Amino acid sequence: MQLIITDAWLAKSRAIHLTGTKLLLVGLSMSIVFVLMAVGIYHWVFLKGAREGWPVVGDLVRLVVRDEFAQRDRIMRENIDVMAKRLGEMQAKMQQLESLGERVSGLAGINPNDIKLKPGQGGALVGARPLSMEELQSTLADLDKISDQRTDVFELMESRLFEQKVRSMMVPTQLPVAQGSLGSSYGWRIDPFTGRNALHTGLDFQAVTGTNILAAAGGVVVTQENTPDFGNMVEIDHGKDLITRYAHASRVVVKKGDLIKRGQKIAEVGTTGRSTGPHLHFEVLISGVPQDPRKFLYANRTAAAPVSYPVAAARVQ
């Protein structure tokens, strides 16, 4: 492109040659200038009109601002409604946990009234309205506090239940001989050596020599010795003055001070000591007084033993 500029006063003319690249740069520069001018005028008019309250410009600015705030409020309300719904679901789950805690507390030996943290609520739905952000935050804080209290309660119940489990593991309910038949029972009988009436202070389990003898409960070996009456004998302390005795063993596989688990092999059936044949003589003693072992071994087998048994009044040597 060629531009010719003529000066009438000086009677001169000047030619300007524009290539395609120069023409493009000139057009782009003019466009940028026009855009900047338009933006400047737009902002000047709207800002000045908004500050000074021009009739048309002021109303237009207020309308734009109102729409923007309304959109923000709508988005915030939708988010609050979603959070309130989730909060309601969490509260319902907390109520279920409270009901579960009340049921489990009985098993743990805890009074349900002692762990009731919040009274029940209910009634007709009247004048319901959406939650505000402040109410939502306050409810969330209360829920967080209750959840911490629930955690403490369940930890307490867990410790109680664990204590009960350990205590039950220390009660001799495991049959000491897996394979064998019950011979002489606890009580008075004719002594096989003297022929006189004598108190038999335990149970005799008939089994072949070498049959495994199992610990009736967990505990600590307090005696492992060979005596004239009981032969190879093991005594296990289960705590609270409760001891089980296993006599006439052919071989003992534990020693004094060993920690024993329920059902662990401790010896093998034999006929050592004062015995007429291979069998296990099993006793349960509380504070040194022999008890009927069937009260413990058959505690969960009501069909296998009578409801009650006599208790020895004195220890028999």
Give pLDDT, residue 51.
64
Alpha-carbon distance values, 201 to 19, 112, 249, 271, 315 (Å): 125, 43, 17, 17, 9
Check whether 1 has a pLDDT greater than 70. no
CA 294, 299, 300, 305 dihedral sign is positive
Check whether 313 has a pLDDT greater than 80. no
Neighbours of 99 (CB within 10 A): 11
Is there a contact between 225 and 267 (Cβ–Cβ < 8 Å)? Answer: no
* Range of weakest confidence among 63-67, 207-211, 279-283: 63-67
**Tokens standing for 300?**
């969960």
The C-alpha angle 152, 153, 154, rounded to 5 degrees, equals: 95
Is there a contact between 111 and 160 (Cβ–Cβ < 8 Å)? Answer: no
Give pLDDT, residue 314.
33
How confident is the model over 7-60, as pLDDT tens digits?
Answer: 666 666 666 666 667 777 877 888 888 888 877 776 666 666 666 665 655 666
> Which residues lie across from 190 on neighbouring strands?
197
